[in-house]
Chains A and B, each alone.
Chain A
Amino acid sequence: DSGVTQTPKHLITATGQRVTLRCSPRSGDLSVYWYQQSLDQGLQFLIQYYNGEERAKGNILERFSAQQFPDLHSELNLSSLELGDSALYFCASSSGGGQNTDTQYFGPGTRLTVL
């Protein structure tokens, strides 16, 4: 158990809909990262927040947005969903700000299925 929690575990929705994925980092960690993993794309970094502020952006679509709240939990919002958005979404946390020595601790993931 990494100490990172993600809800829900599974989510099934229809195209065009909007969903929110939630992540609680390990106690004391200030950074939260979001990743998308699909069968044909591997693990793709989406975005990182550090202590409430956006720190780094990866391959995140404009239809996707995220935020980190004062209690450090984070939410990833996915809108206008398409079939291709079906994937595992992982959240990770680290104590630092994303330096290359930071160890990231990954949550169990949310499996999103768009029908």
Chain B
Amino acid sequence: LAKTTQPISMDSYEGQEVNITCSHNNIATNDYITWYQQFPSQGPRFIIQGYKTKVTNEVASLFIPADRKSSTLSLPRVSLSDTAVYYCLVGDKWDNYGQNFVFGPGTRLSVLP
């Protein structure tokens, strides 16, 4: 099972870029890296997914180095509404379905005015 490690919490100010790094040293060849966002009392929401190099969508960017042992979620110009918990998930082997759904403690991002 690919275990992930993220900072427990981060603080930022409105308008700044925020980078949250996730370590996954034993990532497997077939694993993808997926990030979810969760607001209080709501279900997690998919943000972005990638396999290698860089992925960008309208919400965030995901940077994955060549060795894939870590990944960085980048949120450009955060606002107060980006205050949430961010989870990094790394899938296990293709057929170990149940082990794909391990949400760690996540990173609690607080955006200050």
Contact = CB atoms under 8 A, between A and B. Distances in A.
Interface residues on A, range: 20 to 34
Interface stretch (A11-19, A68-76, A98-106): A98-106
Interface residues of B, number: 27
Interface string B21-61: 00000000011101000100111111001000000000000
B32 A97 contact: no
Contacts of B100: 56, 98-100, 102
A109 interface: yes
Contacts of A2: 43, 45
A100 B104 contact: no
A108 interface: yes
A106 B45 contact: yes
Given A42-B104, A43-B87, A108 B43 contact: yes
Interface of B: 30-32, 34, 38, 41-46, 49, 87, 90-92, 94, 97-106
6 contacts: A35-B101, A55-B98, A90-B43, A98-B97, A98-B100, A109-B43
